[in-house]
Amino acid sequence: MTAIMTSVASPWPPLFERLLAELDRKASPDWQAEQVALDPRVYLDRERFAAERERLFRRLPLCVGHADQLAEPGSLLAFELCGLPVLLARGRDGELRAFLNVCRHRGARLLPEQGTVCRRQSLICPYHAWTYRLDGTLAGIPRAEAFPCLDRTQLGLRKLPLAVRHGLIWIVLDPEHEQALDIAAHLGELDRELEAIGLARHRFYRQHAVRRATNWKLIVDAFLEVYHVCRLHSGTIGSFFVDAVSVNDSVGPHVRSLIAREDTPEIRTLPPQQWSPQVHGTLVHFIFPNSVFIYHPDYISHLGLFPSAPDETLFVHTMLTPEKPADEKAEAHWARSFELIDTGVFNKEDLVVCEQIQRGLASGANEALIVGRLEQNLRRFHSAVDAALR
């Protein structure tokens, strides 16, 4: 199975030319960087965490999945993100909307399911059976005569801003946010790259959400540096990669990385239009503040990080494939791939180490965390966080 090709003009040759130069010699500016350090308190301090949740996670667009997951009218998905109960609904009119999963009567949850798509014709509160249409409007109230002054038009579900771009669902966790979401402006240069990858044409395959006892920034750190790949992942995916060779850029607050694989040197014999950021390298997009896209050879992983405390993060891994499995052989292939990357790599290697680091930071063993020249994306990321908090 191969990655989807697209007619969009390829943005990859300049990146690969830099990667080839990096393979030949240490050519990137990162090798000239001065050694810096991170203060462990950025992962521990409760006041800083409160500021991050307010200024980053409740003001900026967050990617919460792929629209294909809710393709059918009547599809609903409820989850808790950063302390807020969120509900996604595909209405009978085919439009996708986001609401707070809260009844406007006494505040009960309308949909108890967490993280699993279900189908409904309407939303009925389990407490007093107030009923809402899938467009959020209030449809019915039992014993309505008990509320003679109630204006139903003012008691629809609280709506959250939502936009779909590149097949991805973006929301802002603030019902008071009044501006229309301009996702292209938020993505900047990466907008063209997501189009070139063909994300909108990919299909939802499987999702796994788990809460881990670690700060959200430690997880971002883990997916922004390649220094650990051939070491931590030596028994799983490490052998597919050249040891710690990549090219990296800040793109506004976001980060782009192209990582060298074992077969990257083979592109020297191919025309540039055939260079693939999934087959001949591994492209990674970190989209500020909390999304990581990893472009594997024949599928895509979207990692969404949603912190609930300084030392707890909801980690949501969504696997996107070029097409739905056409037969049992294809289903078995994707199932093996998901098990390897989600269970074998993310949950048994990366996230385990992040939890260990969180406990280590709390021990006070390190007054500072060293950032070497192979870890300069951490500097880029933390600088973007600091700038956003200022």
Residue stretches of the chain with pLDDT short of 50: 1-7
Distances (CA, A) of 343 to 97, 222, 306, 335: 31, 16, 19, 11
The pLDDT, as a whole number, for residue 27 is: 86
Count of the separate structural domains present in the chain:
2
CATH number of domain containing 271? 3.90.380.10
pLDDT tens string 292-340 = 999 999 999 999 999 999 999 999 999 999 999 999 999 999 999 999 9
Distance CA(179)–CA(189), nearest Å, equals 22
Answer yes or no: is 30 within a domain: yes
The pLDDT, as a whole number, for residue 115 is: 83
CATH number of domain containing 124? 2.102.10.10
Q: Tell whether 333 and 198 lie within a shared domain.
A: yes
Q: Identity (one letter) of the amino acid at 165?
A: R
Q: Looking up tokens 């920034």, which residue turns up?
A: 217
Q: Tell whether 167 and 192 lie within a shared domain.
A: no
The pLDDT, as a whole number, for residue 289 is: 98
The residue out of 126, 150, 180 marking a domain boundary is 180
Q: Tell whether 42 and 70 lie within a shared domain.
A: no
> Which pair of structure tokens corresponds to residue 209?
């959400």
Q: Tell whether 133 and 102 lie within a shared domain.
A: yes
Q: Tell whether 264 and 338 lie within a shared domain.
A: yes
- Sorted by sequence, the CB contacts under 8 Å of residue 143 that are 6+ apart come out as none
Q: Tell whether 207 and 119 lie within a shared domain.
A: no
- Whether 313 and 80 have beta carbons less than 8 Å apart is answered as no
The pLDDT, as a whole number, for residue 284 is: 98
Q: Tell whether 130 and 38 lie within a shared domain.
A: no
Which runs of E-coded beta strand occur in 195-299? 203-212, 241-251, 254-261, 281-287, 291-295
Q: Tell whether 147 and 190 lie within a shared domain.
A: no
Q: Tell whether 203 and 92 lie within a shared domain.
A: no
Q: Is the dihedral of CA 225, 227, 229, 233 positive or negative?
A: negative
Q: Tell whether 150 and 285 lie within a shared domain.
A: no
Which domain covers residue 80, as residue numbers? 62-180
Answer yes or no: is 1 within a domain: no
Q: Looking up tokens 């090798």, which residue turns up?
A: 31
The pLDDT, as a whole number, for residue 384 is: 98
The residue out of 134, 165, 180 marking a domain boundary is 180
The pLDDT, as a whole number, for residue 113 is: 75
Q: Tell whether 332 and 221 lie within a shared domain.
A: yes
pTM of the model: 0.95
The pLDDT, as a whole number, for residue 6 is: 43
